[in-house]
Every structure is written in C-alpha cells, then in structure tokens.
Amino acid sequence: MRDNKTSQVASEYDANVSKTIPYYTLFHEETIKLVKAYGVTAGSWLDTGCGTGNFIRKAKEQFKDVKFVAADPSSSMLEIAKEKLSEMDIPCLLAGTEELCLEEPFEVVTAILAHHYLDKMMREKATRNCHDMLKPGGVYVTFETIRASTEKGTEIGLQRWRDTQVANGKSTNSADKHISRYGTELLPITIDSHLVLLRKTGFSIAEILWVSGMQAGFYAIK
C-alpha cells in the first residue's frame, strides 16, 4: 500500500523516480538555472511537495545564503527528507500546497511534480497559495505532468511515456499500471491551461520553461 500519492512507497521513491519520469533530475537543474538567471542570491525559498528532499539538497549547494523551507503532505516522504536535510537546519512542514498559508513571504516558491494529483478547485487553491506566499517580484517555478491539446496527442504521448519507462528498466506491468493512473489519480491539464491558471491567480508574468513528452515546466513572477 502506498504511503504517498506517487506510484511507489516513499522508501522506494528515489530508486524508481528516474525510471518513471525521464528527465526528473533535469527538472531540478533547470529550476536552479532559472532562479540563478532571475538573480536570487539571498532571502527565503519554499519548496512545496518536497518529496524526499532531493531538490532542496541540490539547491542549497548553489544558494548557500538562502533560507529554505520544505513542505509535503506525506509524512513518510517528509521523514526521509528530514533525515537527508538534518545537517542543514531546514524547517519541514507536513502540509500540501493547498493547505499552506505562511505569513512570512518568500523570494522563491517551487512545486516540482506536486500539483498534478489535485482536482481543478484544489489546483487553483494551491497555485493561488504559491502566489500569495511570494514577495512582490518573487518567482514561482513548477514542473508537472501535462495533457496534450488533443486526445490523439495524449494517446501518443502516453504510449511514448509507457515505452520510455520500460526502456528505463520498469516491467511492462509496472509501466502499464502507472499509465493507468493518468486521468484517474493523475489529473493533468494542458500547457495553455497552466498559463491561464497562473495569470488567473494573479501572476503578472507566466512563461513556459521547458517541455518534453508528457511533462512541462513553467515559471511565473508576482
């Protein structure tokens, strides 16, 4: 039985995530490059949906003067994150983005593979919370599983994603099981819908950062 919303238990997440998400580590690299390009050198940074803490550990190496805060709705994932980040004095909050309402605003908020389990109403609430927790001029970065703009495009994209998982070492049964979650547990939206949502929730600038297959990254500025 899963102890979080991913397709594997928390203790197996790190070993399997790159088999499931082809460019998982690249999401982290591109986020760090974007924040560097935007010019953040100090202040505070919230990583919501932090999972097992992999991203914060990488980002902290590059942003030594930034104070990080981690949040995740899974206690099992957060316990692993706490252990990984134990020497960094990083607060870890047990909460999903749709529940977060932190008073002290951040220069950066990130949500990497955190919101594609949320329905329309909860996704909007989570995105609005990310906006509201930023300082004016703050930057928000998110990566998500997406839906193609046509049903045929989605069908082809899912087949490619399934084949990639098998090529990465997953069994056909495991890959098929993961793809079967699309549209039931995974609730993706299109790239255009992401941009509309970011503008609707108050961001003055909303841009596409990266796209490949069934995943995309976006950044937005308050």
Distances (CA, A) of 13 to 49, 88, 127, 171: 13, 22, 25, 16
Model confidence at 1: pLDDT above 70: no
> Which residue type does 143 have?
F
3-state SS assignment for residue 10: helix
pLDDT band at 2 (very low <50, low <70, confident <90, very high): very low
Q: What angle do CA 72, 73, 78 make, to 5 degrees?
A: 50
Res. 14 pLDDT band, cuts 50 70 90:
confident
Interval 67-97: pLDDT, tens: 999 999 999 999 999 999 999 999 999 999 9
Q: What is the pLDDT of residues 101-127, one digit of tens each?
A: 998 999 999 999 999 999 999 999 999
Cβ atoms of 47 and 55 closer than 8 Å: yes
Of 220, 66, 55, the C-alpha closest to 132 is: 220
Q: Residue ranges of the domains in the chain?
A: 10-147+186-221
- What CATH number has the domain spanning 10-147+186-221? 3.40.50.150
Average pLDDT, stretch 35-43?
95
Question: Alpha-carbon distance 38 to 195, whole Å?
Answer: 19
Q: Are strands 205-212 and 215-221 parallel, antiparallel or unpaired?
A: antiparallel
Look at residue 7 in the predicted model and tell me its pLDDT.
60
- Residues 3, 152: contact at Cβ < 8 Å? no
- pLDDT digit string, tens, across residues 142-193: 999 999 999 999 999 999 999 999 999 999 999 999 999 999 999 999 999 9
pTM value > 0.85:
yes
**Per-residue pLDDT tens over the stretch 202-214:** 999 999 999 999 9
* Structural element, H or E, at residue 150: none
Residue 60: is its pLDDT beyond 50? Answer: yes
Residue 193 has φ and ψ, to the nearest 5°, of -65, -35
Alpha-carbon distance of 148 to 79, in angstroms, equals: 35
| pLDDT value of position 4 | 56
DSSP H or E stretch at residue 107 = strand 106-112
Query: Tokens representing 100?
Result: 């977060």
Residue 6 has pLDDT above 90, yes or no: no
Q: What is the 3-state secondary structure (H, E, C) of 24-86?
A: HHHHHHHHHHHHHHHCCCCEEEEEECCCCCHHHHHHHHHCCCEEEEEEECCHHHHHHHHHHCH
Q: Is 90 helix (H, G, I), strand (E, B) or coil?
A: coil
d(CA 218, CA 212): 12
